[in-house]
Amino acid sequence: MIKKLAITGGTHGNEYTGVYLVKKWKLKPELITRSNFETICLHTNEQAIKEVRRYIDHDLNRSFGSVDLKNETLETHEAKLAKHLNAHLGPKGSEETNVDFIVDLHTTTANMGLSIVVSNDSVLTWKAIAYLCQVEPLLRVYRWQGDEEGSFVDSMSPHGFAIEVGAVPQGVLRADLFLQTEALIYHLLDFFEKYNNSETFTFSNRLEIYDHEILVDYPRDKEGDITAMVHQERQDKDFLALKTGDPLFLTLSGDVFRYEGETLYALFINEAAYYEKGFAMCLARKKYITIET
């Protein structure tokens, strides 16, 4: 049974959909109130929101690894903030966390549409995702498996995931994606109200997902500067198949780098925030998994 759910926004301070949805729900808490569990909402990185920056010192959404949370020598803004949030929402790994489920709201400059990024393999997390895919057919699911241990915001609770919507520029509100995210949250809250009432669900137990495989960097010179951009035929083609021979990058002189490898699916294509992380896109394998109903 879910007793308390947290909706977090502003983990990246320049991703405004989550920032302003939390503002809205703080003004109108009745919109996220359900009969048999408590919902709280909060801004996770107030200083980054104020400065319209992704973060102050480093990425908050990579700051919740168990080792880092226990390391008292880490004194950066986000390291301190992660410990504070973990005490408030976690503690991570505890048998009795302060919240049972976290949904962290994000936007992306990539053409991801309405999507979920999940790294938590709990049965309840997948049931919630399957329900959301049933009520919102355009929703896509990306399972991130790039870390040995999840260090995202939602890793503080036993269940949870992140919502990613795009394409939207950093520091910009886009009404259609704002409304799509808002509607998805209401569906999620409705799911848990029904779940707590032991209602029977009719969603399919066969779920299409995109399973993380590799990260692809831009071509670079020996100084580390990028020497090519995402090819115009690949731009905005998130969740579409990438096949051997397809154009991938275009150099300043007009030369084309083509993809070589098995057929995979490209996501987070040309995400602005990932230039500093050293990758141009994620490649994933499309598969079907069985959900416990």
Query: Which two tokens mark 142?
Result: 């990306």
167 CB-near residues (< 8 Å, 6+ apart):
108, 109, 110, 111, 112, 236
Q: Give helix then strand counts, H and E, for the chain.
A: 6, 13
- Domain 4-203: give its CATH architecture: 3-Layer(aba) Sandwich (3.40)
- Please report the pLDDT score of residue 270 as a whole number: 98
Say how far apart CA 183 and CA 168 lie, in whole Å: 18
Q: Using one digit for the tens of pLDDT, what is the confidence trace for 127-184?
A: 999 999 999 999 999 999 876 678 999 999 999 999 999 999 999 999 999 999 999 9
- Give the CA angle between residues 281, 209, 272 to the nearest 5°: 20
- Give the CA angle between residues 9, 161, 203 to the nearest 5°: 125
Are 163 and 105 a contacting pair, CB within 8 Å? yes
Q: What is the CA radius of gyration of the chain?
A: 19
The residue ranges of the chain whose pLDDT is under 50 are none
Say how far apart CA 101 and CA 244 lie, in whole Å: 40
- Please report the pLDDT score of residue 273 as a whole number: 97
Give the three-class secondary structure for 67.
Answer: helix
Count Cα atoms within 13 angstroms, Cβ side, for 94: 14
Q: Using one digit for the tens of pLDDT, what is the confidence trace for 39-51?
A: 999 999 999 999 9
- CA–centroid distance for 277 within its chain: 16
- Type and span of the H or E element at 27: helix 16-27
- Please report the pLDDT score of residue 150 as a whole number: 84
- Please report the pLDDT score of residue 248 as a whole number: 98
**Domain 209-290 classified CATH 2.20.25.160?**
yes
- Please report the pLDDT score of residue 43 as a whole number: 98
- Please report the pLDDT score of residue 148 as a whole number: 60
- Domain spans, the chain: 4-203, 209-290
- Please report the pLDDT score of residue 74 as a whole number: 95
Look up the pTM and report it: 0.96
Say how far apart CA 169 and CA 154 lie, in whole Å: 24
